[in-house]
Structure 1
């Protein structure tokens, strides 16, 4: 069992699903699908990793409140060790408005603190023993990047909907050896990917929602993988994080990049069939069965 350390991103979210986003006019909407659940990029990755057989240590901020207790109640996987610091602002909360295309409007009702009072030296032992380090782009996480560099540990990061110019992301871009992002706000994503490999990164992977995913490797090779159409979309929250986890599952087993992307495609597909931020049925056994079903002829 491989150790993985994930830092940053846990919230308790309200999720509203409508057929279409409402028009920007005063109105009353009488019916919607609604649920509340754990959310955010760190929690999504950590839950997926633990279901895929990694011994996962996950750090995030939560409040000393009922929402923090609810977040912890979801992080009870047998191989998931959740460690936290208390955020004086309370537990992070989002309102996600979804439409039937899987698109999302996310409103941060209570963002986490940008600069919490944390002793970062306590993470050194976790970073040292981990085979993989995943640093999410919550602001407080940038302070662990010098520790990773000092300990000569490679960093995996997810830039999400980076637009190619926002300086907020630069510390994470500079520190990462393996970079993931989406093309939502970056139409010229290939130029960015080429630039990252030219700057010494080992791999860049860009997801495109229904358009599949693209990888650019250290060998300057482009690899494209489409989605699997058979998965029925219920909720797209967490799909990118599940793709990330499935990819790293394949990578940890020594598979080639295309095969890793195929595993990511499976875990993302299983995720969108669930109202949770990971697939309800996700496991090592299931994704191997799904891989045989879709990719072994």
Structure 2
């Protein structure tokens, strides 16, 4: 079984569904429903990778509080091995407003400590046994970059809505072997992707929401991948992390990049068809069946 260490990013979220986002004025708004669930980018990757059959160890900063206990319980039920260090600020919490078109407004109501104390040596001892590291852009994770580079394990990183200039992301961009980003703040993404490949990245992927993704491989091949059809959209939270996890899983299986990217779209499709960060019926078998439905054949 492949082993992946996911570093950083867990929260307890309140999800509120609306027909449309409210106008910026005082008013009463009636929701279409709400629920609470584990959230944040690291948890999304950990849950999807575990659902796909990967042996996942996940590290996060959590409060010794009720939201933290709920996060720990949810991850334990999913079979994720969680290592956590206490955040004195408590567990990060968000309120996410989602409209009927898949838009999201995420409100941070409790913030993680920017420079927390954590057991770095405990994590570094795990590096040699991993097949890949999923490095998230939580501030404390940058302190692990030098040791990760020394370990020589493949580093996968998603810098989300990086604009190509923000200094906060620089350490993560430079550390990554496999880099994911969104075109939300980077509309002129192709030149940036070419520069990143020239700098030594093995794969750069830029996602475009409903418009799929653009990837550039280390040999200069461009790959355009549309989203997978046939999935009812219930909740778009976590779709990017699900896509990332599906591509990483394809790579762990030795699939070609076009196939790995298509697998990513299947995992993302399953994610948005559920109210959770990972579809409750997610499995490698389910993904294969959906791949056959969408593409009419087994992965090549």
Q: Shorter-chain TM-score: which interval?
A: over 0.9
Structure 1 residues 148 and 31: alpha-carbon distance in aligned structure 2, compared to 1, 3 A threshold: closer
- Residue by residue over 1:231-289, the C-alpha shift from the partner in whole angstroms, topping out at 9 and shown as x without a partner, is 11000000000001111111111111000000000000000010111112110110011
The alignment covers a number of residue pairs equal to 297
TM (norm. structure 2) is: 0.97
SS in 1 for 2:47: helix
Q: CA–CA distance in 1 between the matches of 2:244 and 2:205?
A: 9
1:96 aligns with 2:96: yes
Q: CA–CA distance in 1 between the matches of 2:101 and 2:208?
A: 14
**Which residue pairs with 2:85 in the alignment?**
85
Unpaired runs of 5+ residues, structure 2, are: none
1:208 aligns with 2:222: no
**What displacement does 1:119 show?**
2.8
**Which residue pairs with 1:292 in the alignment?**
292
Write out aligned runs for 1:1-297 (5 A).
1-77=1-77, 79-297=79-297
**What displacement does 1:153 show?**
2.0
Q: CA–CA distance in 2 between the matches of 1:19 and 1:86?
A: 38
Runs of 4+ off more than 6 Å = none
Larger mean Cα displacement after TM superposition, 128-137 or 22-31: 22-31
SS in 2 for 1:31: coil
- Residue by residue over 1:78-104, the C-alpha shift from the partner in whole angstroms, topping out at 9 and shown as x without a partner, is 642111000000000011111111111
TM (norm. structure 1) is: 0.98
SS in 1 for 2:76: coil
**What displacement does 1:25 show?**
1.0
- Residue by residue over 1:18-57, the C-alpha shift from the partner in whole angstroms, topping out at 9 and shown as x without a partner, is 1111111111113332111100000000011111011100
**What displacement does 1:77 show?**
4.5
Q: CA RMSD in A?
A: 1.1
Unpaired runs of 5+ residues, structure 1, are: none
CA contact (8 A) 2:51 2:278 kept: no
SS in 1 for 2:149: helix
CA contact (8 A) 1:50 1:77 kept: no
